[in-house]
Amino acid sequence: MIVGDLSHREFGEQLGGDGLALQFGPFNLMVRSNLRSFASLAHQLYEPYPLLEPAAICDFHVHINAPRGLRRWLRRQACFGVDGQSPFAPYAVEHAFPALEWGINWCVATRSHHLLLLHSAGVERNGQAILFPASPGDGKSTLCAALIHSGWRLLSDEFGLVRPEDGLLLPVPRLIPLKNESIEVIRNFRPEAIIGPSFLATRKGTVAHVRPPLDSIKRAQEPARPRWFIFPRWVADAPLTLEPMPRSQAFLMVATNAFNYEVLDEAAFRLVTDMIRSCDSYSLIYSDLDEAVSAIDQLSRTGDGF
């Protein structure tokens, strides 16, 4: 059963009552909200995602609700909570949807230490995966959104989830949050992409969410073997360069882009070492999405950079 099997009324009633158990890759979430505006958009953007039985064991119990008491009437706000705690200051009620998405990311990053968590986008094709470790503003989300609308499967926009026992990547194909100019870039690049409304003046600027293609969501239980690390950086008007990177440099960049490297300690060192040894690593500078997608496609076919 998927979210789309519920009517708008059924979805809203369950969300505002006992909650909805949703599956995002390896994570089960119980989601609650008493905000009508949130329910309408969530029904639309979560439409193809699997629903679990109400009795399912969930990793996180999250909510995005109006505040209690006088604050509910003094200012229209939305509060994110997980397992009865509220880790963040309230958001404007208009930003309830991105607030929940950010909150879920926070839950994964702080409470999933059975996995190595890389701050990285990931895509897969023909059984081989590319990881894109990058800092905010380097263009990984934009590049990831372009690739998944060009024949690649989304593993994740935010996390490289590495399973310690075998080094495989676990998909968590959630919505991709685009920021500011990237929103129109992807609208123009692939007009058929399903993109939600733009949320203005959030804590991260203007944000809109791209829903992954249906194939990525349906294959959310299918792990992938990492084959390449590509470290992207968008630079305005820069010519495309895709060049091999020394393994020593790649190791340092992957390790410093891990959320829980210090927590896993020796296990993290072993996992990153194994991945760097078995993967080819490249640096990518790009300004044109078509050129970047073409270069990555060529790399996946021939193994050659530019």
d(CA 25, CA 221): 6
Q: pLDDT tens digit string along 114-156?
A: 999 999 999 999 999 999 998 888 889 999 999 999 999 999 9
Is the pLDDT at 284 greater than 90? The verdict is: yes
pTM: 0.94
**For residue 71, pLDDT beyond 70:** no
Mean pLDDT over the full length of the chain: 94
Question: How far is CA 232 from each of CA 86, 131, 177, 201, 210, rounded to the nearest angstrom?
Answer: 34, 10, 17, 26, 20
The tens digit of pLDDT for each residue in 32-53 reads 999 988 999 999 999 999 999 8
Quote the pLDDT of residue 67.
Answer: 85
- 245 vs 303: which has the higher pLDDT: 245
Q: How confident is the model at residue 76 (pLDDT cuts 50, 70, 90)?
A: confident
Give dist(CA 150, CA 21) in Å, integer.
Answer: 31
Q: Do 211 and 196 form a contact (C-beta atoms < 8 A)? A: yes
- Mean pLDDT, residues 223-252: 96
Residue 174: per-residue pLDDT: 98
Q: How far apart are CA 214 and CA 297, in angstroms?
A: 21
Confidence class for position 54, pLDDT limits 50, 70, 90? confident
Whether the per-residue pLDDT at 69 is higher than 70: the answer is no
In which residue are the tokens 């007009």 written? 191
Share of residues in the chain with pLDDT > 70 (%): 96
Q: What is the pLDDT of residues 97-119, one digit of tens each?
A: 999 999 999 999 999 999 999 99
pLDDT tens column, 184-204 = 999 999 999 999 999 999 999
Answer for the pair 228, 131: CB distance below 8 angstroms, yes or no: yes
The neighbour count for residue 114, using CB atoms within 10 Å, is 12
Query: Mean pLDDT over residues 1-5, rounded?
Result: 96
Q: What is the DSSP letter of 93?
A: G
Cα–Cα nearest to 55, from 10, 92, 18: 18
Q: What is the pLDDT of residue 304?
A: 61
Angle between helices 96-111 and 36-45 (to 10 degrees): 70
Calculate what percentage of the chain has a pLDDT beyond 90: 89
